Amino acid sequence: MPMKEYDISDIEPRWYALHTFSTYENMAKINLEMVFKKNNMQERLMEIAIPIEDVVEEKNGKRKVVQRKMFPSYIFIKMLFHNDSMWHMIVNTRGVTGFVGPMGRPIALTEDEIVRMKLEKKIVTETDFKVGDRVSIIDGPLGGSGFVGDIEEIDVLTNKVKVMVNMFGRVMPVDLELGQIVAVES
């Protein structure tokens, strides 16, 4: 039976973390999409994310890149959350064990958490940076280490930049996001 209609025009979509059974992340995602559709609530569901990262594995002396879930047993859902009946619908979905929050109640993720988990990329359509600019790396694995370099390439469509950095006595290219660098005052 479809759920009762609510006025959701004044609710902002927010990200929430859900706990799943081990290795059930993909199944929980599919089941949630079906439950939202079955209850005619597709307009309340913006996105379901299972963040993955590329990891280099070495086996029998051979290296290969594999994709791994960044947060095993967790999925992230961006939705217009509004009431207890919606909470029951989600936590009773096959594969989902509950929301991450006090007493299993949903707590929206902060902007900082969303960026750190790479759930949403900040899109930059314009940048003041240009090839040849001197920049300092402020975020990521090299952030805060005082690394300074020169921009060799900029790709505003993917929000990426290649910076030539002097490391270990030689100049090496480092691929970064535009948000990970700041201009160095001359």
Per-residue pLDDT tens digits for 116-133:
777 765 554 567 888 999
Q: In this structure, what token pair is assigned to residue 121?
A: 């990329």
Alpha helices in the chain (DSSP H): 25-38, 84-91, 111-116
- As a whole number of angstroms, the distance between CA 100 and CA 75 comes to 10
Query: What pLDDT is stored for residue 121 in this prediction?
Result: 54
Closest Cα partner for 14 from 104, 103, 102, 99? 99
- Domains in the chain (CATH in brackets) are 14-116 (3.30.70.940), 134-183 (2.30.30.30)
Provide the whole-model pTM. Answer: 0.60
Amino acid in the structure at residue 1: M
Are residues 9 and 54 in contact, defined by beta-carbon separation less than 8 angstroms?
A: no
- Using CB atoms within 10 A of its CB, is residue 137 exposed (0-12), middle (13-18) or buried (19+)? buried
Q: What is the pLDDT of residue 116?
A: 77
**Per-residue tens of pLDDT for the chain, all 186 residues:** 454 454 555 678 999 999 999 999 999 999 999 999 999 999 999 999 998 877 777 778 777 778 888 899 999 999 998 888 899 999 999 999 999 999 889 999 988 888 777 776 555 456 788 899 999 888 877 777 788 999 999 887 777 889 999 888 899 998 888 888 888 876
Tokens of 183: 């201009």
Residue linked to tokens 């090496």: 172
16 in Cβ contact with 81 (< 8 Å): yes
DSSP letter at 119 equals S
Amino acid identity at 133 = D
Helix (H, G, I), strand (E, B) or coil at 10: coil
* H helix count then E strand count, the chain: 3, 11
Neighbours of 7 (CB within 10 A): 7
Cα dihedral 119→125→126→130 (10° resolution): 80
